């Protein structure tokens, strides 16, 4: 890795890392005691209230994507890039009514895979599982990498060690506590993130001369404040649709829709969207001050923690370290839990061992969480690219699932063939755009293909789907 | 006597300069010699041979110019980092070179081979076409959800 000047001493970094690790593992054990039975472990007893429901949705969405990718967007694509990132809130807003619908038509469902299997049959289900597990895995990798990058940027802790520890901590408390531990820790993590963002935002506004920032940008990086930067114009709806695709298809969000108590899911997701909306703007803005403060950025995904640390100084960097650690942990745990649910429920239970008992199923969950973590760790080791390039590679794939999901929930005429061809066509053509036009176009093209194909097949279909079939979940 | 004194001074200066040149290695870029970007950003990284054996990380100076001869140049970075991220570049050809510096003794090593970044942004026609497609897709998605919710409410 290229040398990057750090802000905290490694000793302080190690102490913080140790304390935070102990705290989350301890809380994971505490909340894990409530996780009795598979409904408790996978869906927190299907009885999560408004405060915890809102907090877990908001904290999960404030991932490395928000705290580290939003600044990267601002540094690469300027003002529009920063705003483009905040459009990911639309995913939460639009998922709010979907959460209500999901709970109504699948009151005993477990995963998003359950829905695709019952709605469209096994071929679409296999394809959906490939896309969903691939996406979950790239997200997990991007966050494992983000953990290593963060600790290296702020405290000079070697990338490999930082990445290993954050993955290890999240694996331990997710294994012991399941979704109870994930949602409980998410609640505390979301409070820390909100307070931290307010502190960092306030400090930035007090310590930075905005006129100076504008002048420096117009001299050194003029296209970042140019409203006609073509790549950033393309990125606006690309990111918006990527965000919608992520939320609509991923079991991370479906598991929360199933877990949240009946009647409050819509409100919880809407509130989470509003709480989340300002975070990427606050996090992204600080990236634009790097030139004014004379901070050299060696890798664009490091810009968020580096700038926050530089603005706040050594003591402020401790807050930054804690906030970023929380934002990563709150998403890694959710992903480990939700992806393992998808594999356990949809692959192990449905395809391999349908007569499996609850104890064996719980053991399988633990093995899969640990296995996923280990696999992610191995892929994270060589630090294969920047966070954006790793995560957005899955963009066309997830964007292609938007319309099979949304029309499947509301249109009785939506067909299995339409869903399959939408996912296949959207993924392939979107990936072509990703490679030939740029990563900031793949999701947009993928979604465009998906919506056309799904609609055409639904228009040609005369049969109506019986919604009662979904109750078998 | 005076003549030999000048010769001695010249020899000393020559030897000192030769020694510094030996101590200050020529750095190299890890990037290709010619890069084209359509987004206006690019990461540059560099290094010197034998860095692992050095007791302290060397310091570098990076310059940017709009001409390959570096007729006029701008200072981009100096310090121990071995990479920098450039962004917000306008359409045009940019040239970069890097050298090792020793701020304490105020000495500099030889410049690296220069590399060039050609910035050619996407056309605005393409950008606005994709923007319009995105807006239509979003509108359609919102309509599906809103209409779907209304229909299910009527059914219930």
Confidence of residue A213 (pLDDT cuts 50, 70, 90): very high
Confidence of residue A1 (pLDDT cuts 50, 70, 90): very low
pLDDT of residue A208: 83
For residue B57, what is the nearest residue in chain A, using CA coordinates?
Answer: A3
Residue with tokens 């998403």, as numbered in its chain:
A331
Tokens of A220: 């050194």
Please count the other Cβ atoms lying within 10 Å of the Cβ belonging to residue A237. 26
Q: Does A91 fall in a domain?
A: yes
Mean pLDDT, range A107-117, rounded to an integer: 89
For residue A452, what is the nearest residue in chain B, using CA coordinates?
Answer: B137
pLDDT of residue A465: 94
Say how many CB pairs under 8 Å bridge A and B. Answer: 151
Q: Which among A346, A360, A347 has a CA at the least distance from the CA of A38?
A: A360
pLDDT of residue A221: 94
Query: Do the Cβ atoms of A231 and B121 come within 8 Å?
Result: yes
Query: Do the Cβ atoms of B130 and A233 come within 8 Å?
Result: yes
Q: Does A228 fall in a domain?
A: yes
| Any B CB within 8 A of A287 CB | no
Task: Please state the separation of Cα A273 from the chain's center in Å.
Answer: 13
CB A356 within 8 A of CB A348: yes
Residue with tokens 């790097």, as numbered in its chain:
A290
CB A302 within 8 A of CB A35: no
pLDDT of residue A153: 78
Query: Do the Cβ atoms of A447 and B147 come within 8 Å?
Result: no
Position A122 pLDDT exceeds 60: yes
Picking from A55-59, A166-170, A255-259, which range would have the lowest pLDDT averaged per residue? A55-59
At A326-341, the pLDDT tens digits run 878 877 887 888 888 8
| Any B CB within 8 A of A468 CB | no
Position B30 pLDDT exceeds 80: yes
pLDDT of residue A206: 82
Distance CA A116, CA A106 (A): 12
Mean pLDDT, range A226-249, rounded to an integer: 94
Helix %, strand %, coil % for chain A, to 5? Answer: 80, 0, 20
**Which residues are CB-contacts of B46 (< 8 A; sequence separation ≥ 6)?**
B27, B28, B29, B30, B60, B62, B82, B83, B98, B112
Three-class DSSP labels, A410-464: HCCCCCHHHHHHHHHHHHHHHHHHHHHCCCCCHHHHHHHHHHHHHHHHHHHCCCC
Residue with tokens 């909340």, as numbered in its chain:
A31
Pick A283 or A384 by higher pLDDT: A283
Q: What is the mean pLDDT of chain A?
A: 86
Position B11 pLDDT exceeds 70: no
Pick A49 or B140 by higher pLDDT: B140
Which of A216, A399, A410, A442 to probe by mutation at the B interface, max B CB count within 10 Å?
A410
A244 interaction partners in chain B (CB closer than 8 Å): 141
| Any B CB within 8 A of A329 CB | no
Helix residue spans in A208-277 (DSSP H): 210-220, 230-249, 251-259, 265-276
Helix residue spans in chain B (DSSP H): 2-23, 124-155
**Which residues are CB-contacts of A389 (< 8 A; sequence separation ≥ 6)?**
A439
Question: B75 in helix, strand or coil?
Answer: strand
Confidence of residue A286 (pLDDT cuts 50, 70, 90): confident
For residue B87, what is the nearest residue in chain A, using CA coordinates?
Answer: A76
Query: Do the Cβ atoms of A75 and B41 come within 8 Å?
Result: yes
A409 interaction partners in chain B (CB closer than 8 Å): 148
At A80-96, the pLDDT tens digits run 988 888 998 999 999 99
Distance CA A414, CA A404 (A): 8
Distance CA A395, CA A114 (A): 22
B130 interaction partners in chain A (CB closer than 8 Å): 233-234, 237-238, 441, 444-445
For residue A227, what is the nearest residue in chain B, using CA coordinates?
Answer: B124
Q: Spell out the long-range contacts of A348-353 with Cβ–Cβ below 8 A and sequence spacing 24 or more.
A: A350/A117
Query: Do the Cβ atoms of A223 and B121 come within 8 Å?
Result: yes
Q: Which among A459, A456, A76 has a CA at the least distance from the CA of A299?
A: A76
At A331-381, the pLDDT tens digits run 788 788 888 888 888 888 888 888 888 788 888 888 999 999 999 999 888
pLDDT of residue B106: 82
Domain CATH for A356: 1.20.1730.10
Residue with tokens 């504008």, as numbered in its chain:
A214
pLDDT of residue A4: 54
Question: B135 in helix, strand or coil?
Answer: helix
Q: How far is B93 from chain A (nearest CA, A)?
A: 15
Tokens of B90: 């306008």
B38 interaction partners in chain A (CB closer than 8 Å): 230-231, 438
Query: Do the Cβ atoms of B87 and A76 come within 8 Å?
Result: yes
Confidence of residue A222 (pLDDT cuts 50, 70, 90): very high
H or E element, residue B42: strand B42-47
Q: Enumerate residues 374 to 433 of chain A having a beta carbon within 8 A of any beta carbon in chain B.
A: 402-403, 406-407, 409-411
Question: B98 in helix, strand or coil?
Answer: strand
Three-class DSSP labels, A335-373: HHHHHHHHHHHHHHHHHHCCCCCHHHHHHHHHHHHHHHH
B82 interaction partners in chain A (CB closer than 8 Å): 2-3, 298
Q: Does A86 fall in a domain?
A: yes
H or E element, residue B80: none
Read off φ and ψ for residue B95, nearest 5 degrees. Answer: -120, 145
pLDDT of residue A282: 82
Q: How far is B84 from chain A (nearest CA, A)?
A: 4
Distance CA A365, CA A379 (A): 21
pLDDT of residue B18: 47
Q: What is the mean pLDDT of chain B?
A: 87
H or E element, residue A331: helix A303-342
Domain count along chain A: 1
Query: Do the Cβ atoms of A223 and B148 come within 8 Å?
Result: no
Nearest beta carbon to residue B41 from set A3, A76, A217? A76
Helix residue spans in A277-302 (DSSP H): 278-285
pLDDT of residue A41: 66
Parent domain of A143: 10-387
Mean pLDDT, range B142-150, rounded to an integer: 95
Q: Which among B1, B80, B59, B98 has a CA at the least distance from the CA of A156?
A: B80
Q: Does A372 fall in a domain?
A: yes
B83 interaction partners in chain A (CB closer than 8 Å): 2, 4, 298-299
Distance CA B114, CA B64 (A): 10
CB A401 within 8 A of CB A423: yes
Which of B74, B78, B85 to probe by mutation at the A interface, max A CB count within 10 Å?
B85
At A2-49, the pLDDT tens digits run 555 567 788 888 999 899 899 888 888 887 777 666 666 666 667 787
Which of B130, B140, B142, B155 to probe by mutation at the A interface, max A CB count within 10 Å?
B130
Domain B25-121 has CATH 3.40.50.2300: no
Pick A414 or A151 by higher pLDDT: A414
Beta bridge mates, B63: B75, B97
At A419-452, the pLDDT tens digits run 999 999 999 999 999 999 888 899 999 999 999 9
pLDDT of residue B19: 44
ipTM: 0.84
Query: Do the Cβ atoms of A221 and B88 come within 8 Å?
Result: yes
């Amino acid at each position: 890795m290229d040398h990057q000047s750090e802000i905290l001493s490694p000793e302080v970094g190690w102490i913080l890392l140790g304390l935070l690790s102990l705290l989350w593992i301890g809380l994971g054990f505490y909340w894990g005691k409530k996780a009795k039975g598979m409904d408790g472990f996978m869906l927190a007893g299907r009885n999560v209230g408004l405060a915890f429901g809102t907090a877990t949705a908001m904290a999960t969405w404030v991932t490395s994507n928000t705290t580290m990718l939003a600044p990267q967007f601002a540094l690469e694509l300027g003002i529009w890039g920063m705003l483009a990132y905040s459009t990911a809130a639309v995913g939460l807003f639009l998922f709010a009514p979907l959460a209500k619908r999901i709970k109504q038509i699948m009151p005993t469902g477990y995963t998003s895979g359950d829905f695709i299997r019952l709605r469209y049959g096994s071929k679409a289900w296999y394809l959906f599982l490939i896309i969903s597990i691939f996406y979950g895995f790239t997200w997990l990798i991007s966050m494992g990498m983000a953990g290593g990058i963060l600790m290296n940027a702020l405290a000079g802790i070697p990338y490999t060690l930082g990445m290993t520890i954050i993955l290890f901590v999240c694996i331990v408390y997710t294994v012991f506590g399941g979704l109870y531990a994930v949602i409980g820790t998410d609640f505390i993590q979301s409070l820390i993130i909100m307070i931290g963002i307010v502190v960092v935002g306030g400090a930035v506004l007090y310590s930075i001369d905005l006129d100076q920032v504008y002048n420096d940008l117009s001299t050194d990086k003029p296209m970042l404040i140019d409203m006609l930067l073509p790549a950033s114009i393309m990125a606006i709806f690309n990111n918006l649709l990527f965000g919608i695709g992520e939320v609509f298809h991923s079991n991370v969000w479906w598991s929360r829709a199933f877990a949240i108590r009946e009647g409050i899911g819509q409100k919880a997701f809407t509130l989470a969207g509003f709480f989340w909306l300002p975070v990427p703007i606050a996090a992204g803005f600080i990236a634009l001050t790097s030139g004014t403060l004379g901070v050299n950025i060696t890798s664009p995904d490091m810009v968020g923690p580096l700038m926050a640390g530089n603005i706040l100084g050594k003591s402020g960097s401790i807050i930054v370290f804690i906030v970023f650690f929380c934002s990563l942990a709150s998403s890694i745990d959710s992903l480990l839990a939700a992806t393992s649910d998808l594999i356990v429920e949809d692959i192990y239970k449905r395809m391999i061992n349908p007569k499996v008992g609850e104890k064996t199923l719980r053991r399988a969950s633990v093995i899969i969480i640990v296995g996923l973590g280990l696999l992610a760790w191995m892929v994270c080791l060589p630090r294969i690219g920047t966070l954006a390039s790793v995560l957005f590679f899955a963009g066309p794939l997830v964007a292609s699932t938007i319309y099979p999901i949304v029309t499947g929930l509301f249109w009785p005429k939506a067909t299995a063939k339409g869903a399959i061809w939408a996912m296949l066509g959207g993924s392939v053509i979107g990936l072509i755009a990703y490679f030939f036009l740029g990563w900031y176009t793949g999701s947009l093209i993928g979604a465009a293909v998906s919506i056309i194909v799904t609609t055409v097949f639904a228009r040609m279909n005369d049969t109506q789907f019986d919604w009662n079939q979904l109750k078998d979940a | 006597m005076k003549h030999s004194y000048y010769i001695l001074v010249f020899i000393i200066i020559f030897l000192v300069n030769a020694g510094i040149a030996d101590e200050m290695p020529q750095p190299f870029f890890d990037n290709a010699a010619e890069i084209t970007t359509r987004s206006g950003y690019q990461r540059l990284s560099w290094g010197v041979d034998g860095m692992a054996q050095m007791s302290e990380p060397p310091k570098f100076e990076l310059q940017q110019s709009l001409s390959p001869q570096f007729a006029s140049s701008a200072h981009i970075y100096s310090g121990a980092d071995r990479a920098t991220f450039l962004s917000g570049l306008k359409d045009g050809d940019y040239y970069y070179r890097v050298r090792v510096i020793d701020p304490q003794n105020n000495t500099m090593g030889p410049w690296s081979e220069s590399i060039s970044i050609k910035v050619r942004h996407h056309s605005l026609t393409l950008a606005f076409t994709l923007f319009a497609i995105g807006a239509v897709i979003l509108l359609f998605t919102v309509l599906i959800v809103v209409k779907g919710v209304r229909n299910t409410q009527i059914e219930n």
